[in-house]
C-alpha cells in the first residue's frame, strides 16, 4: 500500500477500518466550534466509554441496596470482581486468566513485582533497561536498588540507540544482555517506548534474558490495548500496565499485572503479602500464616 497525506486517502482508510464502528461508543470533548475534537491523547488518558456511566450507576445501586453484602451477592459480587475481569484482561495481553489480575496502580504493582523478581546477589545484581524509559520505571528501579542497600548507578544499565539513530536495534539489546551475562539479574523494558513509539521485540528480549539466567519483565503502559501481545507464549516472567490509556478505564483506573503460570504455585517466592492475596476459601477465617492464592492474584 502506498500512503499519502491527502484528506481523500485518510477518508478512504477510515471507511475501510473494521474498527471504525467503535468510535461511536465513546464520548468526545467538543472544541470551540461545538464539534467533537479529533482526539490524539489516548496515550495519556483514554476517552470516556458511553457504557461507563451505566456500569458505575449499577455499582452505586448495589452499594445502596446491599452495603457490605455487595461483596457476596448481586450480579457482580465485589469479592470476585477480579475474576470477572480476568478473561477480558487475559485476552488483551495474551495470557491465561489465572496469570493476570487487576489491582492497585502501575508503579505500586511494579514495586510488588520487583520485590519478587529482582533478587540481587553479590555477583548478579544488575538491571538492564532502555535509555529514556518512562520516569516511573527509572524511579522504581532506583528505589529498589536502594532497598537492597545498593547504589543505583552500579545496578542500572541503560542501553541507548546507536549514534544517529532513534530506535534500538534488537540485536544490540541481545548483545548487551549477553555481555552482562551472569551479572544480570533482571531485564525491565517498556513494551513500547513512550517517547519514540518503538515496539520492542519482547519475545527476543525474553529469550536473551533467560539465556543468561535473568528474569524478564515489561512495563506495558503504552502497549496494553495498543498492540497485540502474547505474554504467555513469549515466556515473559512478569509485566504490569495501566488501564486508563488505551483501555479507557478513566483517571485513577486500576492497573493490571501478569505473572507467568510457572510461578502460579510457588509459596516459596518472596513477596509482599496481604489479606486480599490470601487463599480465598480461607480468607475470612482470619488465621495467621499467609496462604497465597494461585496465580497472579496471590
Q: Is the pLDDT of residue 201 over 90?
A: yes
247: pLDDT confidence band, cut at 50, 70 and 90?
very high
Give the model's confidence band at 1: pLDDT under 50 very low, under 70 low, under 90 confident, else very high: confident
What pLDDT, on a 0 to 100 scale, did the predictor assign at position 252?
94
Buried b (16+ CB within 10 A) or exposed e, 137-172: bbebbeebbeeeeeeeeebbbebebeeeeeebeeee
Predicted local confidence at residue 38, as pLDDT = 93
Q: How confident is the model at residue 59 (pLDDT cuts 50, 70, 90)?
A: very high
pLDDT at 298: 86
Tell me, what's the pLDDT at 170?
99
pLDDT (0 to 100) of residue 284: 87
Domains (ranges, CATH) in the chain? 24-76 (no CATH), 88-285 (3.40.640.10)
Express each pLDDT in 259-295 by its tens digit: 999 999 999 999 999 998 999 888 889 999 999 999 9
pLDDT tens, position by position, 69-95: 999 999 999 999 999 999 999 999 999
**Average pLDDT, stretch 193-215?**
98
Percent over 90 (pLDDT), the chain: 92
Q: Is the pLDDT of residue 45 over 90?
A: yes
| pLDDT of 246 strictly over 90 | yes
Cβ-based burial of 205 (10 A; exposed 0-12, middle 13-18, buried ≥19): buried
Percent of the chain with pLDDT over 70: 100
pLDDT for the residue numbered 80? 92
What is the pLDDT of the chain when averaged over all its residues? Answer: 96
pLDDT at 2: 86
**Whether pLDDT at 120 is above 90:** yes
Amino acid at each position: 500500500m502506498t500512503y499519502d497525506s491527502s484528506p481523500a486517502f485518510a477518508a478512504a482508510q477510515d471507511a475501510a477500518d473494521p474498527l471504525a464502528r467503535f468510535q461511536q461508543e465513546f464520548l468526545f470533548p467538543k472544541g470551540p466550534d461545538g464539534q467533537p475534537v479529533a482526539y490524539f491523547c489516548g496515550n495519556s488518558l483514554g476517552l470516556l466509554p458511553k457504557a461507563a456511566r451505566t456500569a458505575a450507576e449499577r455499582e452505586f445501586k448495589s452499594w445502596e441496596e446491599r452495603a457490605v453484602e455487595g461483596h457476596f451477592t448481586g450480579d457482580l459480587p465485589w469479592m470476585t470482581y477480579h475474576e470477572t475481569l480476568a478473561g477480558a484482561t487475559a485476552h488483551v495481553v495474551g495470557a491465561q486468566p489465572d496469570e493476570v489480575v487487576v489491582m492497585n496502580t502501575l508503579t505500586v504493582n511494579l514495586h510488588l513485582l520487583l520485590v519478587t523478581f529482582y533478587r540481587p546477589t553479590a555477583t548478579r545484581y544488575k538491571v538492564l533497561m532502555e535509555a529514556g524509559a518512562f520516569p516511573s520505571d527509572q524511579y522504581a528501579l532506583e528505589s529498589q536498588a536502594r532497598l537492597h542497600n545498593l547504589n543505583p548507578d552500579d545496578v542500572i544499565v541503560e542501553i541507548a540507540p546507536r549514534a544517529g539513530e532513534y530506535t534500538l536495534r534488537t540485536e544490540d539489546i541481545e548483545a548487551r544482555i549477553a555481555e552482562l551475562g551472569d551479572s544480570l539479574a533482571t531485564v525491565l523494558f517498556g513494551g513500547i517506548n513512550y517517547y519514540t513509539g518503538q515496539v520492542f521485540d519482547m519475545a527476543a528480549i525474553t529469550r536473551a534474558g533467560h539465556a543468561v539466567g535473568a528474569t524478564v519483565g515489561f512495563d506495558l503502559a503504552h502497549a496494553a490495548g495498543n498492540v497485540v501481545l502474547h505474554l504467555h507464549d513469549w515466556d515473559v516472567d512478569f509485566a504490569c500496565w495501566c488501564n486508563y490509556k488505551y483501555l479507557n478505564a478513566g483517571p485513577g483506573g486500576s492497573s493490571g499485572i501478569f505473572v507467568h503460570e510457572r510461578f502460579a504455585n510457588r509459596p516459596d517466592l518472596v513477596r509482599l503479602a496481604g489479606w486480599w492475596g490470601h487463599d480465598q476459601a480461607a480468607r475470612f477465617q482470619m488465621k495467621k500464616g499467609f496462604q497465597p492464592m494461585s496465580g497472579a492474584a496471590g
